[in-house]
Structure 1
Amino acid sequence: MRLLLLLLLLALVAAAGAATPTPAAKPPAAAAAPPPPPDVMAAMSKGGCKAFADLIAASPEASSTYKSAAEGGVTVFCPSDDAVRAFMPRYKNLTADGKASLLLFHAVPVHYSLSSLKSNNGPMNTLATDGAAMNYNFTLQNQGDVVTIKTAASAGSPARVKATVLDKDPVAIYAIDSVVEPVELFKPVPAPAPAPAPVAAADAPKASKAAHRPAPTVADAPGPSASDDAPPEDRKKEAKKSAAAAGAPCVRWLVAVVAAASTLLLA
């Protein structure tokens, strides 16, 4: 009898355990969504490039390209408000496609921190580059801590990086002091003319044969006679003597004539 009661009790306990539902396993937690990329236009507006951000917002093509590029990584070189205002007369002369290309030309589809930017030199593709058909690249140059951007159409000094507006992966924004001009939209600046070659010193003229001939001997001028150096009184005496000597033959001839006449008369 006790055995039956024990078996009945065990059966009741087993039945109660089977009736209790097993709690369901919790589903795994969903992975956290990545944070959205920074707002490029808002960051530029706060960093002294509001005029440039407004131009991007006014261009549907440029605006959509900037937003999509920010998700994969982008480095923007935004001209300051003063630089954009100075450039506006030339910007207004561009077509809608030209304006969009100019705006996209100021961004590189790679995130560069300031330190990595300073270690790069050479040509870079931009958001405006479209294979071989649309080159649209510029040359990045570094000299110490100074980073500059130039093209063959850059007039005067190249654009210089003034400040870091934002550097948060995947977006970096740097303010520059002038608008960068692509050669696809603006004429290249003529190269400076090379300096003239130094003129060789002219050889000294060769001496002519006449120069080697001995100089002709010049005869000495006749010196003054002794009478010229004599005192005035002596000069008078010499003159009288000369006159007397010159007149002596005349007197002798006259005497001979007179003698001949006398002889004829006496005959």
Structure 2
Amino acid sequence: MRRVHLAAVLVLLLPIAVSAAGGAKAPAPAKAPPAPPNITAAMEKGGCKAFAALLSASPDASSTFQSAIDGGVTAFCPSDGAVKSFLPRYKNLTAAGKAALLLSHAVPVYYTRRALKSNNGVMNTLATDGGAGNFNLTVQNVGDQVSVKTAGKGKGAARVESTVYDKEPVAVYGVDAVLEPVELFEPAEVESPAPAPAAHKKAAPKKARHGDDVADAPSPDADDDDEEDDAPPADQRKSSKNNAAAPPGGQCLRWLAVVAVAAAAVLA
């Protein structure tokens, strides 16, 4: 009798159990985080194919760009025409120099166009390491125009012309020139021509004075000093002047007068 009742209970509970099992849902798997954007691909689509090609050819630069995405990055991408005209100079750089130039075109902070306009001043770049050089950028805003430039006297000013890509944490802006960091393109100092040798008047050696063992070295005033040393005193100069002014015949007449007086005295 008990078995009959137990079987009846199981028959009644079985549909309830099946219904409960069918209604339960397994937890959904967690979504994988989205893959970081490919900066090189974004540059290619935005009209910076030449710069993207240089970036792809530099393993150090491209890996640094990609690894900086998590913390945010803002890149300044030169136009194809600007890169083409700059290529001869770019090819003369070492591999490390090429990577530094490419990395100097990005800052490790995400800036919207609006935020960029309100951030005048110096910014570190992906090339800034505090060792070989600063590789900093200076952002300047004049009205609605945003420009970036390198430090020092190097040619490095570029105007922001377009937004190539802007989706947090990456922003890429098109610029009209390749930035030339002063750390890589320090202008050579222009040497001033050597002054022509001045013509010096040859001075006669100065006479040694009494008590001097060695004659003094000639100086620009040596001739004047000699004239002063050899010149007679003032009173002797005055007498000589009077004698020079007297006519030669005057002295003879005085002698004749003296002789005549002496002769008259003898005859008297």
Same fold (TM over 0.5): yes
What is the match of residue 13 of structure 1? 8
Deviations 1:186-225 (A, max 9, x none): 11598xxxxxxxxxxxxxxxxxxxxxxxxxxxxxxxxxxx
Conserved in 1, the CA contact under 8 Å of 2:154 and 2:185? no
Change (3 A) 1:109 1:156: closer
Is 1:37–1:171's contact at 8 Å kept on the other side of the alignment?
Answer: no
Does structure 1 residue 128 correspond to structure 2 residue 127?
yes
Gap regions ≥5 residues in structure 1: 191-267
**C-alpha displacement of 1:86:** 1.5
Whole-angstrom CA distance in 2 between matches of 1:135 and 1:156: 16
TM-score in terms of structure 1 length: 0.62
Deviations, residues 72-121 of structure 1 (Å, cap 9, x unaligned): 32111011111111111211111100000100110111111100111101
CA root-mean-square deviation: 2.5
Specify the SS of the correspondent of 2:111.
coil
User: Structure 2 length normalisation: TM-score?
Assistant: 0.62
2:74 match: 75
Q: 1:93 to 1:31 in 2, by over 3 A?
A: same
Aligned residue in 1 for 2:252? none
Q: How many residues were matched structurally?
A: 185
For the Cα contact (< 8 Å) 1:40–1:67, is it kept in 2?
Answer: yes
* 2:21 corresponds to: 23
- 3-state SS of the aligned residue for 1:70? coil
1:166 counterpart residue number: 165
CA contact 1:47–1:165 (8 Å) conserved in 2: yes
Q: Which residue of 1 aligns with 2:257?
A: none
State the alpha-carbon separation in 1 of the partners of residues 107 and 155 from structure 2. 23
Match of 1:242 in 2: none
1:180 matched to 2:179: yes
* Secondary structure, counterpart of 1:183 in structure 2: coil
- Say which is worse superposed, 148-157 or 119-128, in terms of deviation: 148-157
Q: Is the 8 A contact 2:106 2:125 kept in 1?
A: yes
Residue 170 and residue 145 in structure 1: after superposition, are their counterparts in 2 closer, same or farther (change >3 A)? same
1:223-244 deviations in whole A, cap 9, x for unaligned? xxxxxxxxxxxxxxxxxxxxxx
The structure that has the greater radius of gyration is 1
Query: Which amino acid in 2 is paired with 1:10?
Result: H
